Amino acid sequence: MKIVGLTGNDAVAEAMRQLNPDVCAAYPITPQTELMEKFASFAADGKVKTEIVLAESEHSAMSACIGASCAGGRVMTATSANGLALMWEMLYIAASYRCPIVMGVVNRALSGPINIHCDHSDSMGARDAGWIQLFSENSQEAYDNTIQAIKIAENPDVLLPVMVCLDGFITSHTVERVEVLDDEVVSRFAGEYVPKYSLLRSDRPMTFGPLDFHDYYFEHKRIQFEAMEKAKPVVRDVSERFSKLVGRPFGVLDAHKMEDAEIAVIALGSTAGTARGVVDELREQGKKVGLIKLRVFRPFPIKEIVELARGLKALAVMDRSISFGGLGGPVFGETRSACYGAGVNVPMVNYIYGLGGRDTTFEEIERLYGEMETVAREGKQVDAIRFLNVRE
pLDDT, tens digit, 9 for 90 and up, residues 307-329: 999 999 999 999 999 999 999 99
Q: Which of 292, 299, 307, 310 is nearest to 334 (CA)?
A: 299
Distance between CA atoms of 338 and 369, rounded to whole angstroms? Answer: 22
Helices 183-190 and 8-19: crossing angle in degrees, nearest 10, is 70
149: exposed, middle or buried (C-beta count within 10 Å: 0-12, 13-18, 19+)? buried
pLDDT at 382: 72
User: pLDDT tens, 350-391?
Assistant: 999 999 999 999 999 999 999 999 999 988 777 789 999 999
Residue 68, helix vs strand vs coil: helix
Single pTM value for the model? 0.97
The per-residue pLDDT for 127 is: 97
**Residue 177 reports pLDDT greater than 80:** yes
Measured CA to CA, the distance from residue 104 to residue 150 in angstroms comes to 11
Residues contacting residue 386 through CB under 8 Å, at least 6 positions apart = 349, 350, 351, 352, 371
What span, in angstroms and rounded, lies between the C-alpha atoms of 206 and 350?
A: 47
Sorted by where each starts, the structural domains of the chain and their CATH numbers stand as 2-181+196-246 (3.40.50.970), 253-387 (3.40.50.920)
High-pLDDT (> 70) share of the chain, %: 100
Q: How far apart are CA 101 and CA 25, in angstroms?
A: 11
- Give pLDDT tens digits for 5-40: 999 999 999 999 999 999 999 999 999 999 999 999
- Which runs of E-coded beta strand occur in 199-334? 253-256, 263-267, 289-294, 296-298, 314-319
* Pairwise CA distance, residues 377 & 373, whole Å: 6
